[in-house]
A and B are shown apart, each in its own frame.
Chain A
Amino acid sequence: MDLQTSDTPLGRDDLARLVARDIATGSFVNLGIGQPTLVSNYLLPEQNITLHTENGMLGMGPVAEGDAIDGDLINAGKIPVTELPGASYFHHADSFAIMRGGHLDICVLGAFQVSATGDLANWHTGAPDAIPAVGGAMDLATGAKDVFVMMTLLTREGASKIVESCSYPLTGVGCVTRVYTDKAVFLTGPDGVSVRETLGCTLEELQELVPVPLKAASATAAVGG
């Protein structure tokens, strides 16, 4: 079995490049705050991707700099951005209807944990003194046709973030379809977790890190995009 596609684990930028490569031409995409934002740096013009930002815009361009900074033109992370030709603005209820209504092709999110069946935990640690703040996380997890997660496979303490069932409060149930990590790309769904490619390790080495049964993805499931 020749699953491995990289000799080394991927850094954040290489992982963002890998996600960007997997987004089909012409897709409508929402990139979550944090690591997923890096994906926009690696989208190619010929991919013709339209970015959605949930505060009310399609056709979002790169981060604004210098004279282009406009306080009325920000992304969901409240960072000044630019508009591309063909952009549109709409109010919040329409923006979330675009999401909830299944019109977005892909949403890329960060995560604390993903379960074997694609449950997502990414909004709240559940710590008693933490002020809960959800924003659009639950809407994003629920609405897009495909939900991709980008995260490191292991916590700082070395625990797998792919788990049998999430110990952190859930963001969405069974919503994640694909997980991009520094050590492997996983496909998740009702039938459990399969591995599309390993990055700098073997499937056997990966299995030692992850507490759920892993199998190699079938050839059809392994097709990108």
Chain B
Amino acid sequence: MLNFVDTVQEAVSGIKDGSTVMIGGFGNAGQPFELIDALMDCGARELTVVNNNAGQGDQGLALLIKEGRVKKMICSFPRQSDSWHFDAKYKAGQIELELVPQGNLAERIRAAGAGIGGFFTPTGYGTMLAEGKETRMIDGRGQVFETPVHADVALIKALTADGAGNLVYRKTARNFGPIMAAAARHTIAQVSGIVPVGGIDPENVVTPGIYVNSIVKVA
């Protein structure tokens, strides 16, 4: 069921304590800042957040972490020059970290959306990130079994939605948006513009509307 809502507050109002929330974006590109700010204001706690990073500077996901709303991060690259809020929580033992190679993270998210129960991948074989995981030799290469990452909610940013919920993105801000939209049980997209049904050429749709539940226009 697709809803167009007027405010980001309304869009995130159903997110409960303890939810797993996927947040799109690679660095700041494609990060849905307004939806994250609304998530902060709605007060949900004990969140598991799936994102490539663990927040930058003093905005968006970094603030959610600073305020102690995030119980666990599932990400590939939490350590950056300006990830001081994650650094502090991690060193204080106040946040869990599941570190996943970036391509495995993307494929685990894709697998969840595609109904795949897991997959073998050569990435990470023979490293400490494969410790405790099932391995096999396939086509002469060591491979590691990885499982899907599901989520209750995805917060993503796209450029334009049409009246059917189809989305297009802009440049490298696309990053995790399409796969998170498919993986989460409820996907909320903030967009810069909304056009009528038929306003996006079907050949150019990147995320079909079937994956999208709520759309909010952000100026």
Interface stretch (choices A16-24, A155-163, A169-177): A169-177
Pick the contact of B29: A71, A83, A142 (CB < 8 A): A71
Count residues of B near A (Cβ-Cβ below 8 Å): 49
Pick the contact of B171: A72, A99, A173 (CB < 8 A): A72
Give every chain A residue within 8 A of B110 (Cβ-Cβ): 93
Q: Is the CB of B173 within 8 A of A72?
A: yes
Total A-B residue pairs with C-beta atoms closer than 8 Å?
A: 145
Pick the contact of A57: B86, B87, B142, B172 (CB < 8 A): B172
How far in angstroms is the closest Cβ of chain B from A8? 34
Pick the contact of B26: A55, A90, A138 (CB < 8 A): A55
Give every chain B residue within 8 A of A55 (Cβ-Cβ): 26, 29, 172, 175
How far in angstroms is the closest Cβ of chain B from A85? 15
Interface residue? B123 (CB, 8 A)? yes
Count residues of A near B (Cβ-Cβ below 8 Å): 42
Interface stretch (choices B4-12, B40-48, B61-69, B71-79): B71-79
Q: Is the CB of B125 within 8 A of A173?
A: yes
Give every chain A residue within 8 A of B105 (Cβ-Cβ): 92
Q: Is the CB of A134 within 8 A of B76?
A: yes
Give every chain A residue within 8 A of B163 (Cβ-Cβ): none
Interface stretch (choices A41-49, A125-133, A214-222): A125-133
Q: Is the CB of B29 within 8 A of A173?
A: no
10 shortest interchain CB distances as A-B pairs: A96-B103, A139-B103, A133-B79, A173-B126, A92-B106, A93-B110, A78-B27, A135-B77, A136-B102, A72-B173
